[in-house]
Amino acid sequence: MSAPLEPVTVLTRGRPVVISAVELDAELAGDGPCRSLAHLEAVVRSNDRLRSVARLRRAVASGDVGVQTMQAVFGLVRLEAAESAGELRALADRLGGSPGAIARAAAFLVEGRAAELAHAATADALLARHSPQPYLHLQRVPDGAPLLFATWLAELERSATALGVTAFRAFVGDVAEAAFRSLQHGADAVALLGERGASFLVDIVCAELGGTTDFVAARGMAWLAGALAAGDDTARSAIERARDRFRDPEFQHDCEAMLGGEPWPPRR
């Protein structure tokens, strides 16, 4: 018998929102898209994993292109819901394009098949460019992660002249944040990226961070630069420029921590 549901507090636009146990119970029993992103986050963080996974599977099964559907996909990755792989593959076939690539990558990841994802992404540029996004939501470093990063770094090299600057910087930001999240989960940078790969990624981050106008991409780049090269003058300068460009309070705090020599990255 499952434990009684507990209220869940989530942040919405920087403000805490409490989803009561009654609201959460109603959402867990629902079909289709969740009532709001706050309710979806509460479902992911519910203390009843079986009902949470079942609810997200129903959301994905009926989902269309949009933020709600992608957040449901990411929620299933966070919950390592291997039983949802079928719905994720069906969603990938239904959506196609970038959203489909994200869902397809998520199907590999929930089943613990990171090495197979790396192999598939080697022959599929769209999958390679979008598979870091669900990876960010893993709660541990999967087996096969170094193979995935090798694939992503190779695609970064190819993409430097094949993608527009905005798309390329978004991809750099995704790979950088994926590496940063892995470091937070205890990965060793050299084991994860290789010496050449770590140096290559830091060089790209430092080159692109200064001109990046996308906050999400810049944040991922800055976080990784702080983790791998906080003592390097070029990296510090790039972090300082990003800090001065983006006035988000939490990001400002992170930049001060990195530049001030505090332990970085913070463990999750």
What ranges do the domains of the chain cover? 1-137, 163-268
pTM reported for the whole predicted model: 0.93
- For residue 38, is pLDDT > 70? yes
Note whether 105 and 117 are within 8 A (CB): yes
- For residue 226, is pLDDT > 60? yes
Q: Mean pLDDT, to the nearest integer, of 206-223?
A: 94
pLDDT at 156: 96
User: Can you tell me whether residue 266 is helix, strand or coil?
Assistant: coil
pLDDT, tens digit, 9 for 90 and up, residues 133-177:
999 999 999 999 999 999 999 999 999 888 899 999 999 999 999
pLDDT, tens digit, 9 for 90 and up, residues 89-145:
999 999 999 999 999 999 999 999 999 999 999 999 999 999 999 999 999 999 999
**Angle 64-70-72 from CA coordinates, rounded to 5°:** 100
The mean of the pLDDT values for the chain is: 94
Band of pLDDT at residue 210, cut at 50, 70 and 90: confident
Note whether 111 and 82 are within 8 A (CB): yes
| Partners of 15 in the β-ladder | 12
| Partners of 8 in the β-ladder | 19
Note whether 134 and 73 are within 8 A (CB): yes
pLDDT at 268: 67
State residue 6 phi and psi, 5-degree precision: -115, 150
* Among 161, 162, 169, CA closest to 212: 169
- For residue 37, is pLDDT > 70? yes
